[in-house]
Amino acid sequence: MDKLLIRGGRPLSGDVEISGAKNAALPILLASLLADTPCRFSNVPELRDVNTSLALLNQLGAKAKRLSDGCVEIDASCVNNQVASYELVKTMRASVLVLGPLLAKFGEATVSLPGGCAIGARPVNLHLSGMEQMGAEISVEGGYIKAQVKGRLKGCHIFMDMVSVGATENLMMAAVLAEGVTVIENAAREPEIVDLANCLNAMGAKVTGAGTPKVSIKGVASLKGCDYQVLPDRIETGTFLVAAAATRGHIRCLHAAPETLDAVIDKLRKMGAEVATGPDWIELNMHGKQAKAVNISTDPHPGFPTDMQAQFVALNAIASGAATVTETIFENRFMHVPELHRMGAEIELRGNSAVTNGDSKLKGAPVMATDLRASASLIIAALVASECETTIDRIYHLDRGYEKIEEKLSRLGADIKRIKE
């Protein structure tokens, strides 16, 4: 299992190229199942979850292949299997997003039920009840969701009890080929939802309102392939910005989407960072100063993203002053805290909040990544830790969501290397 070896103490400085968004790429790749002709996607990051999506598409009978330079081509005209196996779904929960497209296009789908994961129970009840309202018959047998519909799905009015990114995406993909109009109320508003809607519209779908709590989808009889470029990754961008703030550095993120990061940039400015933005870049300069800790509460977009919570907990720990970070989306998303304790971070867990008093003096230590964004917080802590080096074990979590992270950080001046084992 690969590990990362980091020697802290160097401020990050320079330019970093931001990759395509993992959380936009996954639903977009799977949406290709809906098209009758080949799709070509660009700015697709080279990540383990993307490879799992391509393997899943190939398992369904599609021809999915990587071309050069972040491009992927998928021909789903030859899909001959509607079963997403446990072997793939267990390695990537987002595989459940094939349910909507398969059901809409082929009238049936059998998809392994994703289990819980390190950060919470993460049920898929909203996905299933929305599809039932559209006329699907759904049962769970032997750990698999079995869904079928006679004829086409029927457009309907769906009110979602909770804001869910995945359920909004799955139901949008189901509705594009349904008969009539579907309205999703209390829809998630994340930028990745807008990106998926734009991609579906490029295939010939009629989706309006994406990015607002009410998404309307007028079903069409068929969709064609498209050429589509994936949105820049806002969580990768935010992670580099926090790493630069923690090391009192000065970096510029290129090929970024500043308009997707309002809540994160606002917090960084409150922490004392000078942040400038252009159409596709963000520059952060700490002028060598220590950050000031801020209170944060995670929320669905446009609130503060849960996927940035762990990174800010690490930053608050070494910043000046006391602050509280409250997690409202997932029930168990503080697995990074005990690992940060091992590096000397003073963080107290109180229910769903992480309380810091500031000025923690971090020292390098062997630590273990527990989930994707937790891994990012350990890297940030390691970049500022003194005395010993830090080794981060189980970085396969990191490889799910950060493209070439050690290369990018090295170019910014970090002392980081991957140890292959």
Residues that bind ligand UD1 in the complex, under the rule CB under 6 A = 23, 26, 94, 120-127, 162, 164-167, 188, 192, 306-307, 329-330
Of the candidates 94, 182, 192, the residue with the CA atom closest to the CA atom of residue 136: 182
Q: Tell the smallest beta-carbon distance from residue 292 to ligand UD1 (Å).
A: 26
Minimum Å gap between C-beta 166 and ligand UD1 is 3
Distinct helix (H) and strand (E) counts, the chain: 14, 24
d(CA 95, CA 74): 16
**DSSP character for 219?**
-
Spatial distance between the Cα atoms of 339 and 396, rounded to a whole number of angstroms: 17
Shortest CB 262 distance to ligand UD1, Å: 15
Give the residue closest to ligand UD1 by C-beta. Answer: 166
Q: Which residue lies nearer to ligand UD1 by CB, 96 or 345?
A: 96
Residue 165 vs 385, nearer CB to ligand UD1 = 165
Six token digits for residue 225 = 């392939």
How many Å is the Cα radius of gyration of the chain?
Answer: 21
Pick the closer one to ligand UD1 by CB: 123 or 338: 123
Q: Which amino acid is at 174?
A: A
User: Please, which residues bridge with residue 197 across strands?
Assistant: none
Using the minimum distance from each CB to ligand UD1, give the nearer residue, 308 or 318.
308
185 neighbors 157 (Cβ within 8 angstroms): yes
Residue tagged active-site, from 39, 71, 117, 253:
117
| Nearest Cα to Cα of residue 362 among 244, 247, 270 | 247
Q: What six digits make up the tokens of 198? A: 């734009």
Residues 6+ apart with CB under 8 A from 146: 109, 110, 138, 139, 140
Query: Please, what is the minimum distance in Å from the beta carbon of residue 70 to ligand UD1?
Result: 18
- Residues 410, 264, 117, CA angle at the centre, nearest 5°? 80
Active site residue 117: yes
Question: For ligand UD1, which is the closer residue by CB, 228 or 247?
Answer: 228
Residues marked active site are found at 117
